Chains A and B, each alone.
Chain A
Amino acid sequence: MHLIRRQRLQWVILMLVTSSMAVGLVVYALGQNTNYFYTPSQIAQGVAPIGVRVRAGGMVVVGSLERAADSLDVEFDVSDGAVHLRVHYSGILPDLFDEGQAAIVAGVVDANSVLQATEVLAKHDENYMPPEVADTMSAAYREANGLGGDY
């Protein structure tokens, strides 16, 4: 390769390396702040700021969903497998919201360590299957394969 082209190639590589390093350092410095939500464990350990609006994500614990008979108030537990976080919400839940599925809630954790949510989002997992296949898969099989949620 001609000397001048080799020099240009070296410049291009240098540019790629330095820009990657710069962005890598920025990403490293941002660290946890880049996460969209905290896990219930992180909130229990006090990693998440107290008294301000935070987002928490995890699996909606099966059997924990309680709906008020006379209002839109709902309460449920969100879990990351280790810690359960009680969530209170008043409003309409998204279509894909269900027990045993992942959800992300946004709100303030109160003194009774209940998260008073102002927003509930359903988090879909990466699994796609026809209804018949889903029906024939037993709950135990789904758990064992990590289907139906990330946590």
Chain B
Amino acid sequence: MAMGSTKWQWFYRLGSPRWFYEISGRWLPWLVCATIILLGVGLFWGLALAPPDARQGHSFRIIYLHVPASLLALAGYYIMAVTGAVGLIWRIKMSFMLMKSAAPIGAALTFMALFTGAVWGKPSWGTYWVWDARITSMLILLFLYLGVLALQRAFTSVEAGYRASAILALVGTVNIPIIYKSVDWWHTLHQPATLKLTSASSIHTDMLEPLVVMVCGFYVFYVLALCLFTRSEIVQQESATAWVKALATSESRT
């Protein structure tokens, strides 16, 4: 890696796998605590304390899993695409490792959004699945995540897999605003957004508060999962380096 000017040196230090491994190791206990507390409080509040919905009764409570999973599935795609772009432009391995780790988490969250939606759809709409714009574009997102996962493993050279999957991740970003705006652009069976950025959300405060806790909990969980996946990727890719070997021997001794 050429370090042409001192101006960019901080950026390259950020890209050191060893530095990331050490700093994320210090974050892990805090992230685990925050995840357990936020998800525990959010789930108990949402499932047990929040009032039932006037029309849906208790089945509305799936919102506490469906909405955070969907939000993170979309936000996580941007994380994957941005780290992929940084990797492509600066050829930073660390950035590629983050991109690779974001793919399985995003795929799982997208599947969770589709599955919880189907479970809710049967009693509420009268069907598990329809091919409307929102649900179909979300299915495309799942296929994009799976495509990135497959491309990463389709090459004998790790570097080639990183680059090819980063390009697919970048091209796929077009889908994200389509998913987000699909309920406004077209007639869909899926209802428009309940949480709104620009105006008041159309959900009662007693139901909104646990949802906000759950969304925060999912964000922290996402960071935790990304750290864990990336750390395992670092150890795999850097297994030939002296510091990983030292790490392995010191951990087997204790």
Does A pair with B? Answer: yes
Besides A19-B174, A36-B187, A133-B204, 12 other A-B contacts (C-beta < 8 A): A36-B189, A95-B123, A96-B55, A96-B56, A121-B125, A122-B124, A123-B125, A127-B194, A128-B194, A128-B203, A131-B51, A134-B54
Specify which of B88, B124, B203 is in contact with A8 (CB 8 Å cutoff): B88
A9-17, A60-68, A71-79, A108-116: which lies at the B interface? A9-17
Inter-subunit contact B125/A94 (CB<8 Å): yes
Inter-subunit contact B187/A124 (CB<8 Å): no
Specify which of B51, B52, B186 is in contact with A35 (CB 8 Å cutoff): B186
Specify which of B130, B178, B192, B193 is in contact with A36 (CB 8 Å cutoff): B130
Residues of A within 8 A of B123 (CB): 94-96
Specify which of A96, A120, A126, A129 is in contact with B124 (CB 8 Å cutoff): A96
Please, what's the 1-or-0 string for B144-160, where 1 marks a CB less than 8 Å from any CB in chain A? 00000000000000000
Partner-A contacts on B (CB < 8 A):
2, 4, 51-56, 60, 63, 85, 88-90, 123-127, 130-133, 167, 170-171, 173-175, 178, 185-189, 191-194, 202-204, 206-207
Inter-subunit contact A126/B191 (CB<8 Å): yes
Residues of B within 8 A of A11 (CB): 88
Specify which of B63, B171, B186 is in contact with A19 (CB 8 Å cutoff): B171
Residues of B within 8 A of A126 (CB): 191-194, 202
Specify which of A5, A37, A135 is in contact with B89 (CB 8 Å cutoff): A5
B126 nearest in chain A by CB position? A94
| A135 and B89 alpha carbons, distance in the complex (Å) | 58
Please, what's the 1-or-0 string for A32-44, where 1 marks a CB less than 8 Å from any CB in chain B? 0011111100000
Whole-angstrom distance between the Cβ of A118 and the nearest chain B Cβ: 12
B84 nearest in chain A by CB position? A12
Inter-subunit contact A128/B187 (CB<8 Å): no
Known contacts A16-B173, A36-B186; A130 and B54 CB within 8 A of each other: yes
Residues of A within 8 A of B171 (CB): 15-16, 19
Specify which of A93, A95, A123 is in contact with B189 (CB 8 Å cutoff): A123
| A121 and B125 alpha carbons, distance in the complex (Å) | 5
Residues of B within 8 A of A107 (CB): none
Inter-subunit contact B88/A12 (CB<8 Å): yes
Known contacts A96-B56, A123-B191; A34 and B203 CB within 8 A of each other: no
